[in-house]
Structure 1
């Protein structure tokens, strides 16, 4: 990346020598003149961006303002979709300045346009990245804490993008999840916004061929007045169901009618809330992992693209996977499973009272939760006191094929004991809703994720338990909660299992 940033500056420095050998193209001469004007005009934090690149313009191509400026102005004009005010970024003034600069070809005007566009872009991109106070996330490491980005860093990232215009058009500094939700919000409003907000009777299940209640349903969905539950209404109901995460069967049952009666504003607010959650995620240039507890799915990104995705099992309603972010720093091969105290009390202690053998079950009882805990003789444990909740006992499951952690766990140190791990319980991964764990994240394919983390297969050196392997480079992981999920052709609304939406 350093070479990519410095290349324009090196080219500028070498230009006089090249000019002695052959005439320089007119466009290069003009860009050199624009660079000279930028040198004399750029100040403050923008100078920190322009100086290392020899004041070479960012927005000027072949003596004119490039198409990336049109993309930026269009983005500014639609900034209300991001909860921002378009007037704060001066789209009208940028249009006028770009038009005058193009018409005159004056290097001074072109330089003014370049600086103004850079200033507006840095401000817009920085504001889009700022977290909302509506969303509370626990940040475990300083590397993942939101911070105000310097204009020079925002502009440098844009300057080294493979295509600057595509970077602006695709909002490439934001998470792809955010960008897709932003697009889905506009598409959703176009498809379902502005329809009559009339209530549909909720005391009857409406089916094709029925007449009672169909009139209100037709009106609510924007069809011609009438009482027939005909093919047109069936198609409209199916479309509504598909866009609202419901089974598209064309029957207006309780769930469909409840969704209709919530109204358009409810779903717009819900998408907006999920955009605020996705705003906290990094852009795809950052190597990182995202776990969504609402859809029970994981994605991983690097080098500007999504590298893969997989199913996961996340926390149940009673033991929710929290919204948090940290750094995955090492993997543990052949892990123990420290059994949660409530499970020791409710599940394991009664089995011991009924004559089970802790050793045959491949568990160990320990004296405490320290790293130097002593192994206890199971016969010396007061299992009745454990079962009654009068004594808290640390128990861990030995590594092996039936270990709840599987073969590996990926650690981002935190005091809640949350991590990503393998699992032998494959049946839960086949379920459409996968909120079953005690808060940790069970992986569909831990070995694949391990290869992505380490760049090679993960294999233990021996049968020794708890082999810790540091990552070559720590990787950020974000645990989020997205009840509106972008699809290729719209958005899917998911049940608010954890009750966090409040919209």
Structure 2
């Protein structure tokens, strides 16, 4: 007996008619998106243009905050096509609106994603290099999300850091941007209960009524300013608070704009990736549109900075060696040997060269005085074990600077609010948890052999960035420019 044909739902029948009209009218890059999906509409729901179109129009209206011009995306033309489709929802009218909305959406996403030049990011792999996205790829990514409306409202193609800084910048302008820009004399410490004349200037600068009282209202306003600018919120206008006030709102708005451009280089949360921020010394990892976890890290010191770079984490190394940098061999290892220590006792070994299979060197064969004086160099590495500076695992994204993410036995540094102590690599607060996320299970070494390499099931992009303005629940917090990069 032949199978009975299933009835076609009215909504699907209507969409089929729209698909026929799209097929007749689509061309170019849009066709590369529509054709594989049978020309099925993206913006039509229940025989009408869906709410995702309203979300797109609302986003277009706000893109001046992204340095873009809303008129470039023809919001009036889109609105007219939507109204025509609403008034007379013929397949032809719905198809015209669907194609126009897709074209505007793809153009907007491409423009929002396009990075500014001179941001200092170094790209190690072609997979992470910025490129002009194909409209069909942008539309395909949008079409597979659970809710296109939510995807547009959150701009899910942008990094969450970018979107939160975008909101914070708007909020900052509203909160602090229109206050009087008058200078408060430095060299004085203004505190509650004080009656000095400078308090009148402080009140005026913070938009409070005239007067000379350091009252509860002024304490609250000072605390709010301090909290929003990364200062200790004690309500006392000391040297750092007065410096911040005298910089003016324009300075901080430029800083927010600079950091937005840095975060524009980061992927959206639908891309499985890792972000390391050297300024705040934190790490985040994302997949499937959500934040999967975060942790503290120890980043490079001022003299040995963690660079801005992006690459692909391709494998983990279990039971790793630590190749000690030559400057540390000179300043730390050689003096210990000259004072009677042994390489074996330090759990180190010396090697003839930097090749993959170097010959070992006897301690006695090395002129340690020459090494300590900086006249010669020798390769020294720390053997695997509980005291190894790399801990039990390091995650590798090959680069010529020797930068990677790694475990560490030095746990005390994670308790510090400022964590800039490494030689450039990134020490992880919880390397085992990150390993489980990378592999889907805990990577385990096969015995005690050193340097066991395990490839990730899929390489994962990692972005090492530098954010001196970071989003918070209250807006944004400004961090010290430890590496001196903001002035660049």
Show CA shifts across 1:9-53 (max 9, x none): xxxxxxxx99x765742x444322222211111111101111111
Decide whether the 8 Å contact of 1:134 with 1:276 is kept in 2. no
Please give the alpha-carbon distance, in whole angstroms, between the structure 1 residues aligned to 2:317 and 2:183.
Answer: 55
Alignment partner, residue 63 of structure 1: 47
Task: State the partner residue of 1:416.
Answer: 401
1:300·1:306 contact (CA, 8 Å) conserved in 2?
Answer: yes
Q: Which residue number in structure 1 is paired with residue 412 of structure 2?
A: 427
Post-superposition Cα deviations, 1:209-254, rounded to whole Å, max 9, x if no partner, equal 1122111111111111111111111111111111111111110111
Match runs of 1:114-263 below 5 Å: 114-212=98-196, 213-263=198-248
Note the alpha carbon deviations across 1:118-174, whole angstroms, 9 max, x for none: 000000001111111031211111111111111111111111110110010010111
Distance in 2 (alpha carbons) for counterparts of 1:23 and 1:275:
48
Determine the C-alpha separation between the residues in 1 that align with 2:6 and 2:341: 90
Structure 1 vs Structure 2 CA RMSD:
1.4
Matched with 1:466 is 451
Q: Deviations over 1:83-103 (max 9, x none)?
A: 212111111221222122212
- Structure 1: 4+ residue segments shifted above 6 A: none
* Stretches of structure 2 lacking an aligned partner (at least 5 in a row): none
SS in 1 for 2:456: strand
Q: Deviations over 1:172-199 (max 9, x none)?
A: 1111111111111111212212111111
Aligned residues: 485
Alpha carbons of 1:161 and 1:24: their partners in 2 closer, same or farther (altered >3 Å)? closer
TM-score, length of structure 2 as denominator length: 0.97
Offset of 1:434 from its aligned partner?
Answer: 0.4
TM-score by length of 1: 0.94
Task: Please point out which of 417, 439, 446 is paired with 2:424.
Answer: 439
Of 471, 476, 480, the residue aligned with 1:491 is: 476
| Partner of residue 102 from structure 1, selected from 86, 90, 96 | 86
Of the three residues 384, 396, 399, the one matched with 2:369 is 384
Match of 1:51 in 2: 35
Consecutive unaligned residues of structure 1, counting only runs of 5 or more, are 1-16
Q: After superposition, give the CA deviation of every residue in 1:62-116 in whole Å (9 maximum; x if it has no partner).
A: 2222111111111111111112121111112212221222122232222111111
> 3-state DSSP class of the match of 2:167?
helix
Deviates more, 1:319-328 or 1:45-54: 45-54
Tell me which of 68, 75, 83 is aligned to 1:91: 75
- Residues 285 and 301, structure 1, Cα contact 8 Å, conserved in 2: yes
